Amino acid sequence: MDMYRKVPVDLLEGTRRGKILSVLAVFTMCTLFLFETIAFLERENVSELTLDVSKEPTIRINFNITMMDLRCDWAVVDVVSALGTEQNVTQHVTKWELDADGVRRRFAGRSKSQKDIKLSDETVEYDYEELSEDGEDAVRLDEEIFELALKENMFVFVDFYANWCSHCQTLLPTWESFAELMNDVAAEKIEAMAEQHGSEKEAKLEFPVLIAKVDCVDNPDFCNKQQIRAYPTLRLFVDGKPYGADYHDDRTIEALTNYLATIEKEVVKAEGVSDAAERYNRVRLDKPTDHTWRKDRTVQRHWVDSEHPGCQIAGYLFLNRAPGNFHIMARSNAHDLNARWTNVSHEIHQLNFGEPWMTKNVLSEASYVPFGLDKKLAPLNGNVYVTNELHQAFHHHLKVIHHSFSYKNKKGPSSTAYYHATDLARIYQVLPQSQLSQYHYDDVPEAKFIYDLSPVAINHKQKSRKWYDYVTSIMAIVGGTFTVVGMLESSIYAVTNKKRN
């Protein structure tokens, strides 16, 4: 009869409750285990701020800049560092001359310093005072006399100088001797003088040439009208107009004489001997020519493309990891430049920091790159900075921020390629600020790029959990689930017994 004895109700309820709680516990553990495993397998992208502790002594900057109105043989790149170093850089720098349409004209000055020209004729034995004791042979001109000289002479060769210019003072005896030579246009004397100065070529002139000079300190407005950018500027006028570009060769009697002979041959060849002679006679007789003059008889100066060449400068520099700047300016070993006419308007095609191959690898192979970072590496690319007033130049202040990455570096042949995920790469973000700066009228403007490396770096990496953290979490899930279910079961049992009692 005992087997038919009635089972207590609370025992049956406890068994059912235990089954339900056990199923709930298993379901909870499985769910938490699944999410914990997914979280363990996933990698978290993390960007951390750290101090820049790079041990590299230098940083590379890559640039490709077009100077819109600066001759290549005057354009120089200088680097100045807060460490006290200052240097002119020619290594790894390439320059191309550009015409008025921005087309490369010829190979010019690639990785070379400025061409060294002879600043005077060493065979001239007398100084300027001795040569001018019996009067100056080089005619002094001002604006009014200049017009008369152009009117009465088919060829006028003018030295625009400043009396404070050291290069002008060096040239003065040579120019006076050259003027004395040109005062007698007999071919025999020119040949004799050319032989005396070591000429290997015959320099015969059929027409007289007026050798003149203009002191730009005494005639500043006139020189500004002529757009004199450097001292001395040697300019040949043929029939009242500048003939081609200014003279930029050796400043010796031989070179000057051969230059005039060459230009004369070009004029005669273009027109013929009789035509050239007839034109010279027209000028001498003050008959109308095919040139137009303003009513006030002043020089009508036009823009001549050949006198305003551009220069594309490209290359890279290794800079000290300290604040500093590099700048592009006009400087000549053979001229004292007129700061008023130095124009450093420029277009930036490329300006960024770091190794190009490393930047490319990071952007293509890094497991995590913040969105839009690639556009922040070279924000000045494609920008144009034009100065419309004299004595002005744009200065660019560049804050450089170091970003480090762990990236997959592909190595070996393509058939057996494998990847390393432990390589650390560095790229550099640039925060630019450009402003138009005003220069003193005696200072030569310069396109300046001022850089400052941020002491704070940004480290980008993928953070994953340790295996022992995962095991600990699993054990915590199991133990925690049974504990919570036990507490829940005890609470339910206590409540149900209290109701029965």
> Domain residues of the chain, as ranges?
2-42+486-500, 49-99+332-463, 128-305
pLDDT score at 434: 93
Do 426 and 402 touch, CB atoms closer than 8 A? yes
Distances (CA, A) of 83 to 90, 217, 317, 328, 452: 20, 39, 16, 20, 13
Helix (H, G, I), strand (E, B) or coil at 278: helix
Distances (CA, A) of 352 to 9, 22, 206, 242, 359: 83, 64, 57, 42, 10
Average model confidence (pLDDT) across the chain: 75
| CATH, domain range 128-305 | 3.40.30.10
72-95: b (≥16 Cβ within 10 Å) or e: bbbbbbbbbbeeeeeeebbeebbb
Among 450, 454, 457, 456, residue whose Cα is nearest residue 61: 450
Q: What is the mean pLDDT of residues 427-442?
A: 89
Distance of CA 323 to the CA centre of its chain: 18
Dihedral sign of CA atoms 359, 362, 363, 369 in order? negative
Report the amino acid identity of residue 92: H
pLDDT digit string, tens, across residues 197-244: 444 444 555 567 888 999 998 888 888 888 888 888 899 998 888 887
Q: Is residue 411 very low, low, confident or very high in pLDDT (cuts 50, 70, 90)? A: very low
Q: Return the residue matching tokens 């600066």.
A: 70
pLDDT digit string, tens, across residues 378-403: 999 989 999 888 888 999 999 999 88
In degrees, rounded to 5, the angle at the alpha carbon of residue 86 between the alpha carbons of residues 85 and 88 is 140
Pairing of strands 139-140, 209-215: parallel
pLDDT score at 72: 83
Helices (H) and strands (E) in the chain, counts: 10, 21
Q: What is the mean pLDDT of residues 30-42?
A: 81
pLDDT score at 295: 33
Which range (148-162, 177-191, 214-228, 301-315) has the least confidence?
177-191
